[in-house]
Amino acid sequence: MLETGIKAPEFTLPDQNGEMHSLTDYRGKKVILYFYPKDNTPGCTKQACGYSERSQQFEEKEIVVIGISKDSVASHKRFEEKQGLTFTILSDTELEAIKAYDVWKEKKNYGKVSMGVVRTTYVIDEDGMIVYANDKVKAADDPEKMLEYLIGKN
């Protein structure tokens, strides 16, 4: 996991509509950048829906929410439509941002070891600096915790 107080790595990735987004597009705003393992799985769905349910509160504070996984643009589009998501989901099939943000790790699941995305949330400030980093994210609690953290900071 990257440390707080450092410049957030730059990236350019396609969203669920195939439009390209770069981190620099969001300078001047706070960004919640969260990495998750897979579209349409129980934990990832709870986390994404939690962010959507609170989207108005984030927007009022000019906080941008961006989710990133290694799923395809088409998978993200299905996820967005099925769950009614209201924020940007970026596709990182080449693991560009996933590796730059140090969230591609060895994981153990029922004794089986494999590489995968460790659910991690970063907050990036208006100047592109990482001000919050958490790799012990509980999917269902993350959106509310981020709202409390950021509203308390404003």
Q: Which residue is catalytic, options 8, 23, 44, 89?
A: 44
Beta strands in the chain (DSSP E): 12-14, 20-22, 30-35, 63-69, 88-91, 104-109, 112-117, 120-124, 130-134
Q: Is 49 an active-site residue?
A: no
Residues belonging to the active site? 44
